[in-house]
Chains A and B, each alone.
Chain A
């Protein structure tokens, strides 16, 4: 009974890269959503949340159309020298980021909203610039939100199936992630291998969530 290490590596790489990209995009987006009074907010919030309710295959289907060499985005991307996005690792990252976006933005947005405005004002009068205020007041107070966002973003990417199937194809060592490998084993009636992967993913998910909840308890900062 061999463990499919190539699928483990692809999955871990995909989840790590996606989580990093999600944090880079999600943090300013969540901050804007938490503070803005703009009329466009509900629209943007709905856009971010769509993957929560949409069948992943729908998202995957549209991405396949858009990112493909004949699609609006794919054609432009390849004309400026970008690597092919469908059936490739970069394409998987794009799909995962969109699919996991609400899992990162929502915990961040909630924790940003809980940071009292008056503390930011106090920091401003103490000569802290906007970035300084974010690093020294918002970030420490929103730390549990960041931890939740990172974990959910990572774990959700690991657990993804539909989007990956649609735009990733099934290329071992490049786009074949664990959930796909599991599906392939079942299709091939290799139940022993399927059991190993399924149990491994179950254990991983549980352990990750345990760690988050334990750390969140420890991080609980005393509030005024």
Chain B
């Protein structure tokens, strides 16, 4: 059976982790939740570093744990690439020997990832002779990633791989990471408490609350849930994936085609046809019952109200989409007064004016 399945129950000092996670056989699955929700423990159980008492873990056909059949494959026979926040490079070896450590232990039949490719994707060639303590934080994570890939894993597990970095380094490492993952048809489980990171990289999102899976689905599906927005407590927003449609050279703009309609954004370098992810915050979406005649806002999407919910005494959140298909949605944060004046209820057709769109890159 293809894909990743991880179902286990384990108790850690009073904390109960009880999850059943399904992830596709390729692509990135984001595991998102607050600190203490059990994200790291899930990864450690999948890697076999922590043994859940009652579990079943399988990865693209291999059974790694099945307690009903008494199967538990030790971590060194699983073939997982594990990248943690601390990088965990061996301090007594230089960069080259750290990488060779991984490469040398790959069984002859499993050599799926070539040394030269990893050097090219992650640009670690110039660092090879360097000692580990002489690496910057960003370089360290790149080497850790290269080491994990050179182990030719069947599954990559990443635990906050860029959380310890400052913003420029984080941006840089994420760029390398994205480029490398694009080249590989491997399943990746990516743990982070940063929603923008997860939204940028993941195809699927698992939302973990207090040791349990609260919801699983596409990024836009989970982000578009009102209870998710409420739970996060921060500025709600959604992520839409679209295709670059055309560039407008005169006004320096780019039009992208999303399932909710066209959006016009600042001129992008990407070629027409490229996939692009954008984030739209709920506070940047306003609603009207008719198209605006004269307005400075470029993006106006005809949508249908799917759900409304109060956020506070003065504000509410409106979920908008295309009712005929169960696709991505948009969230708008408006006042309760506006909701009453426009009599917004499910089924009502409105025009959503999007003031600002941020590209995730």
A122 CA to B151 CA, complexed, in Å: 11
B132 touches A124 (CB 8 A): no
Residues of A with C-beta under 8 A to B102? 126-127
Query: Would you give the shortest CB distance from A180 to chain B, in whole angstroms?
Result: 43
Residues on B with beta carbons closer than 8 Å to the beta carbon of A125: 47, 49, 75-76, 78, 80-82, 148, 151
Among A121, A130, A133, A140, the residue within 8 A (CB) of B88 is A121
Q: Which of A130-182 contact B (CB under 8 A)?
A: 130, 132-133, 136-137, 140-141
A218 to chain B, nearest CB (A): 14
Judge whether B147 and A118 touch: CB under 8 Å. no
Q: Bound state CA distance, A121 and B78, in angstroms? A: 13
Chain A interface main SS type: helix
Q: Write the B90-117 contact mask toward A (1 if CB under 8 angstroms, else 0).
A: 1110000000011001110000000000
Residues of B within 8 A of A126 (CB): 76, 101-102, 105, 147, 151
How many angstroms from the CA of A124 to the CA of B75 in the assembled complex? Answer: 6
By size class, the interface of chain A is 20 to 34
Q: Are B131 and A222 in contact (CB under 8 A)?
A: yes
- Size of chain B's interface in residues, with CB distance under 8 A? 30
Q: Which residues of A sit under 8 angstroms from B81, Cβ to Cβ?
A: 125
Tell me, yes or no, whether A128 is within 8 Å of chain B by CB: yes
- Tell me whether B75 and A119 are in contact (CB under 8 A): no
Distance from B17 Cβ to chain A, minimum over Cβ atoms (Å): 18
- CB <8 Å contact, B77 and A119: no
* Distance A63 CA – B26 CA, assembled complex (angstroms): 66
Measured CA separation A133–B81 after assembly (Å):
17
Q: Is A221 an interface residue (CB 8 A)?
A: yes
A sample of 20 more A-B contacts (CB under 8 A), given A118-B84, A132-B105, A222-B133, is A118-B86, A118-B88, A119-B90, A119-B91, A121-B47, A122-B82, A125-B47, A125-B76, A125-B151, A126-B76, A127-B79, A127-B102, A128-B76, A133-B76, A137-B90, A140-B92, A221-B92, A222-B91, A222-B131, A224-B89
- Residues of B near any A CB (own CB < 8 A): 47-49, 74-82, 84, 86, 88-92, 101-102, 105-107, 131-133, 147-148, 151
Q: Which 8 A-B pairs have the closest CB atoms?
A: A122-B88, A127-B105, A124-B75, A125-B82, A222-B133, A140-B92, A126-B102, A127-B76
27 contacts between A and B (CB under 8 A): A118-B88, A121-B47, A121-B49, A121-B75, A122-B89, A124-B48, A124-B49, A124-B75, A125-B47, A125-B75, A125-B80, A125-B151, A126-B76, A127-B76, A127-B102, A127-B107, A129-B76, A132-B76, A136-B101, A137-B90, A141-B91, A141-B92, A221-B91, A222-B132, A222-B133, A224-B132, A224-B133
